[in-house]
Amino acid sequence: MKQWRPTSPEVWQGRDDTHEASNALRLFQTVARSAAFSPDAENGEIALLGFACDEGVKRNQGRPGAAQAPDTLRRALANMASQPEHTRLVDFGTIFVVEDKLEEAQQALHDAVVYCQRGGKRTLVLGGGHETAYGHGLGLLDAFPDEKVGIINLDAHLDLRHAQRATSGTPFRQLALDCETQQRDFCYACFGLSMAANTQTLLDEAAKRNVTLIEDLRCLNAPDEAIAQLKHFITDCDRLYLTIDLDVLPAWEMPAVSAPAALGVPSAIIMRLIEPICRSGKLQAVDLVEFNPARDRDGQGAALAARIAWQLVRWWG
């Protein structure tokens, strides 16, 4: 596998409580770690991958730092209690970018995702900027060429930008263009959208591509209606790809992102949106993106992002 490295054993460390009982386990004690990229040789159902890249954030004039996120989030997960569902996780290491060669890194992520998905595994990717979504999403589309793949983005931004080269703001337009080439439906929903953070050009692009839009204010003021619309979207799809841009959260909960949200959707509501997706039986791929350890306060952002990842794995039916 190109541009790949295994996860150091030093990352998965934590408190050992097994002197109390044999089942007093934490994730660092139950997550399997692959020393080679060999999905066929491991029995776990969920392949954990890192994507150490923020070149797309730099190109999009954001605050770099997300390239350091995968191992920071692994460390935050490591000391959390392990429930039976978490034994399905296998850490297959990290795809990384070389210099500014974003497109090569996205291709490497795509290839890793296709390999895992065709091998019967689901993929959980810790980004990286939102450029993660292009490699991950295209990998899922290519793994299931004859199925209707729905993309659910929890995000303040549409990320449908026009640009001469890929950035963290272009992944869903890139996926839309690939769907056109493949002559398949582009099924995309964005929940938590901030109207203050998206220009009319982006909204026009969303309308052109029949994107389902649920604003942050609607998630806040009428969460049951937002969940009902989400369930309707789920019903219409064969497989689901959930991408969580952590800047959907309010800045007071998630300061550690490229573009902190002035309003945002609190984590309690985000969890309500995530649960039906996880329990649908259709969820095939998830990523958490835009976490920036350099902007974190006392590990606050890492702890919240890790809790979201911990919870979705537990719910992932």
pLDDT > 80? residue 278: yes
Nearest to 191 by CA among 258, 249, 141: 249
Give the amino acid at 186: F
Query: What local confidence, expressed as pLDDT, does residue 40 receive?
Result: 80
Query: pLDDT band for position 117 (50/70/90)?
Result: very high
- Pairing label, strands 212-215, 187-193: parallel
Strand 122-127 to 46-52 pairing = parallel
pLDDT reported for residue 285: 98
* pLDDT(289) > 90: yes
Overall pTM surpassing 0.95 (yes/no)? yes
pLDDT, residue 178, reads: 98
Instruction: Report CA-CA distances (Å) from 231 to 211, 235, 316.
Output: 15, 6, 16
Q: What is the pLDDT of residues 15-69, one digit of tens each?
A: 999 999 999 999 999 999 999 898 887 788 999 999 999 999 999 999 999 999 9
Using CA atoms, how far apart are residues 209 and 20, in angstroms rounded to an integer?
Answer: 56
Q: How many CB atoms lie within 10 A of CB 250?
A: 19
Residues 264/156, Cβ–Cβ less than 8 Å: yes
**pLDDT value of position 41:** 72
Residue 290 has pLDDT above 90, yes or no: yes
Average pLDDT, the chain: 97
Tokens standing for 240?
Answer: 């689901």
Task: Enter the tokens of residue 142.
Answer: 């290519």
Res. 1: pLDDT tops 80: no
CA distance 285 to 112: 13
pLDDT digits (tens, 9 = 90+) for 148-170: 999 999 999 999 999 999 999 99
Closest to 27 (Cα-Cα) out of 70, 87, 72: 87
Task: Give the homologous superfamily in CATH for domain 4-315.
Answer: Ureohydrolase domain (3.40.800.10)
Dist. CA 107–CA 177, nearest whole Å: 16
Q: What is the dihedral of CA 99, 171, 147, 191, to 10 degrees?
A: 130
Taking the C-alpha atoms of residue 91 and residue 42, their distance in angstroms, rounded to an integer, is 10
With 0-12 / 13-18 / 19 or more C-beta atoms within 10 angstroms meaning exposed / middle / buried, residue 272 is: middle
Q: Are 242 and 154 in contact (CB under 8 A)?
A: yes
Contacts of 72 (CB under 8 A, 6+ apart): 291, 293, 296, 302
Q: What is the structure's pLDDT at 317? A: 77
User: Which is it for the CA torsion 309, 89, 54, 116, positive or negative?
Assistant: negative
Q: What pLDDT does 42 receive? A: 78
Determine the Cα–Cα distance for residues 15 and 182; give it in Å rounded to an integer.
49
